[in-house]
Structure 1
Amino acid sequence: MNAAGGGAGARPFPWGAVLDTGLCRLRLDPKLFWELSLVEFTAMTGAFAPRPARFRRDGLEMLMRAFPD
């Protein structure tokens, strides 16, 4: 058993994207960035925000009737 090793299909942690988001996009101080837990960092990115309702077929049909061109 290799609990920490991941499986054959395990993807590496996306450090490049995380560093870019934290240091460049959110402009966090490096000290603060490295002190954050993964949950805190994820919350700062807006990942826990409610998602808007999906666009449904009836909405499309309404728009097609309103704008027939």
Structure 2
Amino acid sequence: MHVGLCLLRLPPEVFWRLTPAEFSAMAGGMRPRSPEIRRDGLEALMRRFPD
């Protein structure tokens, strides 16, 4: 509800009429996710940026 009413600033009547798929798309759920970093990638970053 916070995302719909506060962050997206949807009027309540619009918010309550959304389907779960519509709400997910509006809230960013349809964006491709960044790939997870594997351990070897993390270790490479730690060597490159030791601070």
Decide: shared fold, TM above 0.5: yes
TM-score between the two structures when normalised by the length of structure 2: 0.73
| Pairs aligned (count) | 51
User: In structure 2, what is the Cα distance between the partners aligned to 1:64 and 1:21?
Assistant: 35
Q: Which runs of 4+ in 1 moved over 6 A?
A: none
Flag the structure with larger Rg: 1
1:36 aligned to 18, 23, 31, which one? 18
- Which runs of 5 or more structure 2 residues have no equivalent in the other structure? none
Report which of the two has the higher share of helix: 2
- Which runs of 5 or more structure 1 residues have no equivalent in the other structure? 1-18
Matching residue's letter, 1:46:
G
Q: CA RMSD in A?
A: 1.7
